[in-house]
Amino acid sequence: MNPFRRPLIAGNWKMNAGGQEACVLANAVAEKTRRADRVDVVVAPPFTAIAAVAHEIEETRGSIDVDEGFGVGVAAQNMHHLASGAFTGEISAPMLRDAGATWVILGHSERRQHFHETDHGVALKAKAALEAELRPIVCVGETLGEREGGETLAVIERQVRAFMAHFAESPGFGVVAYEPVWAIGTGKVASPEDAQIVHARIRELLAEVSEEVAEATRILYGGSVKGDNAVGLLEQVDIDGALVGGASLDADGFTKIVDAAQAVAEKLAEEEGAPPSRERAAVEEEARELEALDADAASDARDAGQLIAVDGPVDAPTSMSVPPTSNAATGIDPATDLDDAVDHRDV
Ligand code: PGA
């Protein structure tokens, strides 16, 4: 697996969960996705909750830096392209950094559609985000009319060309999200094959900037991604993750998508002969320990059986005489051995 392209699952909360609710959701996501150590997880709350969510995640996971491997990243959903000035109601990249965001979603189709954002404006924002070391997730996608008119690839090309040169300086820092507008919030999802065609085209365009940018840039799919359709999409060679709207508001639903990404990454790593992930290694270690304990218990039982055979059934304890509170697998009798264990533990 390309180390720059760890699967990335980002939850776009849109104009939802802007207060206390955001902390509850962030905490649940941070808890539930803890085991997915092959996946980068990002949440994008509204501006009002960014600082609180960043704080909550730091408390739960110890970090908001996905590069550290155990953090959950925090994204804003938009920003102004200038750092400061007389722009009432706007928020800049440095302000987002101060609040704890390290990512920003740019050019989402809802912003292009309802707030008249242009390709040029989105490109200015992408440049400003990169300058402020805020990782941009730049969204592109065709409308239903454009798809039906056979214009999908032309639209995507126009949108990607507008900002792609800005990705040249730090390959892999910026992300592209392909979100067909007709699939957003509609329950209609692009087929993995159709999505792959567009993703491959986006990567081809990025290769015009440099091979390195093409290889290192994650291209996410977005539009009605759920736990039950995520695997098919994520298995495509050029789909490196998902931008999730509706399903990201439910921690369990979102975790299912993260788990799907983890499973796909595990499979790929196994095929490539990579060492198992921390999560997989821990599960395997646990299985080995249980197996060893079972073997010990079986050998104890055999010894007891031999005792019975030698001493006869009257004097020797039978398996029925084992106190019901004892743990056959560990051999620990909680009634007696636990006190010893407590007395001798290191404090
Ligand atoms: P959806 O939204 O998952 O609800 O379709 C995706 C998005 O808007 O990013």
Q: Which helix (H) or strand (E) is 99 found in, with range?
A: helix 93-99
The CA-based angle 248-227-215, given to 5 degrees, is 85
- Please write the tens of the pLDDT for every residue from 65-117: 898 778 999 999 999 999 999 999 999 999 999 999 999 999 999 999 999 99
CA-closest residue to ligand 1 atom 8: 245
Higher pLDDT, 65 or 146: 146
CA-closest residue to ligand 1 atom 1: 245
Ligand 1 atom having least distance to the Cα of 222: 6
User: Residue 268 is which amino acid?
Assistant: L
pTM of this structure: 0.82
Tell me how far apart the alpha carbons of residues 225 and 7 are, in angstroms, rounded to a whole number: 14
The alpha carbon of 342 and the centre of ligand 1 are apart by a number of angstroms equal to 52
Question: 103 and 134 in contact (C-beta within 8 Å)?
Answer: yes
| 174's tokens | 């910026």
Q: Which helix (H) or strand (E) is 42 found in, with range?
A: strand 40-44
Confidence band of 306 (pLDDT split at 50, 70, 90):
low
Which residue numbers are catalytic?
Answer: 108, 179
Ligand 1 atom having least distance to the Cα of 243: 9
Q: Among 8, 12, 175, which residue has the most ligand 1 atoms within 8 Å of its CB, making it the best to mutate?
A: 12
- Please write the tens of the pLDDT for every residue from 244-303: 999 999 999 999 999 999 999 999 999 988 877 776 677 677 777 878 888 777 777 777
Cβ neighbours of residue 151 closer than 8 Å, sequence gap 6 or more:
142
The burial of 30, by beta-carbon neighbours within 10 Å (0-12 exposed, 13-18 middle, 19 or more buried), is given as: buried
The dihedrals phi and psi of 315, each to the nearest 5 degrees, come to -85, -30
Residue bearing tokens 């990201």? 248
Cβ neighbours of residue 93 closer than 8 Å, sequence gap 6 or more:
79, 83, 104, 128, 129, 131, 132, 134
The alpha carbon of 185 and the centre of ligand 1 are apart by a number of angstroms equal to 5
Ligand 1 atom having least distance to the Cα of 186: 5
Residue bearing tokens 């799907």? 260
Tell me how far apart the alpha carbons of residues 303 and 95 are, in angstroms, rounded to a whole number: 70
Ligand 1 atom having least distance to the Cα of 226: 3
Tell me how far apart the alpha carbons of residues 312 and 97 are, in angstroms, rounded to a whole number: 77
Cβ neighbours of residue 312 closer than 8 Å, sequence gap 6 or more:
none
β-strand partners of 41: 9, 72
- What integer best gives the mean pLDDT of the chain? 87
- Please write the tens of the pLDDT for every residue from 25-59: 999 999 999 999 999 999 999 999 999 999 999 99
Residues with CB under 6 A from ligand 1: 12, 179, 184-185, 222-225, 243-247
Question: How high is the pLDDT of residue 219?
Answer: 98
The alpha carbon of 30 and the centre of ligand 1 are apart by a number of angstroms equal to 20
Domain 3-274 class in CATH: alpha beta
Q: Among 225, 248, 256, which residue has the most ligand 1 atoms within 8 Å of its CB, making it the best to mutate?
A: 225
Cβ neighbours of residue 144 closer than 8 Å, sequence gap 6 or more:
181, 182
Question: How high is the pLDDT of residue 276?
Answer: 72
**Cβ neighbour number for residue 113 with a 10 Å cutoff:** 12
Query: What size, in residues, is the chain?
Result: 347
